[in-house]
Amino acid sequence: MTDTPEPAVAWHVATPGVLVVTLQRPRANALGLPIIEGLTEALDSASARGDIKVVIVSSSLPGFFAAGADIKHMATVDATSFTAYGDALRGVLDRLAGDTWIAIAAIDGLALGGGLELAMACHLRVAGNGARLGLPEVSLGLIPGAGGTQRLPRLVGRGRALGMMLTARQVPADEALTMGLVDRLVPEGTALEAALQLADTLLEMSLPAQSAVIRCVDAAFDTSLEDGFRFEVAQEQRLFEEGEAKEGITAFLEKRPPKFS
């Protein structure tokens, strides 16, 4: 009797409103088609439920968040298949980065190449103090092609982003915190626990308002300052008319916690 191998990705509702997605593809969570398909199914599940406000991406493999793209797979494909692989990876990361939920990366161990691109697609990153992060694609004659060249400069600035990508340097967790690549630094092995605690805080807020914050911050990088101001005003007005602002304001005046949906 042959044991059925574990799926590359597992997910479960940890607490109401919080979906934990666990990468578990030995030996290093290479982001091949099994993980891409697993992430897609996990996000499909979150969308179908309709009550997920926070998605946490974590790993069950000691020493690894995700070590990069699937190099063995890339070595066997032609140009057309390489394009399809890249499109599939970019598609699931862009979906994770949207405004349907707040995504948190819980990083313990190595987050390299596509693994770091996965973490950067999340809105927030919690890292154990033993984590190391990097984009080593130039050592393979490639570039970070799943959003890395665009997301990294927005997080750490042009100079630091170039310094990391041009040299393929791995950044230790404490430096990543200093440069803004990660948002919280915690003891090694506790990134998931800390991400769950952060999720509890996020759940207390209004998701429509949080989603509007994401849209406005993204617009700050894509529009002029004047257009950004106009976009912000439109988002604020929409929240007042259609969002949860009425409940938030009423709760404040009544000195009680708001009851957001």
Q: Which residues are catalytic?
A: 69, 114, 117, 137
Burial of 190 (0-12, 13-18, 19+ CB in 10 A): middle
* Distance set, CA 190 to CA 108, 133, 197 (Å): 8, 17, 11
Q: At what angle do helices 79-96 and 33-49 cross, to 10 degrees?
A: 30
173 touches 186 (CB < 8 A): no
Cα(117)–Cα(68) distance, integer angstroms: 9
Which is it for the CA torsion 95, 97, 103, 107, positive or negative? positive
Distance CA 36, CA 92 (A): 7
Residue whose entry in the numeric block shows the structure tokens 């340097």: 169
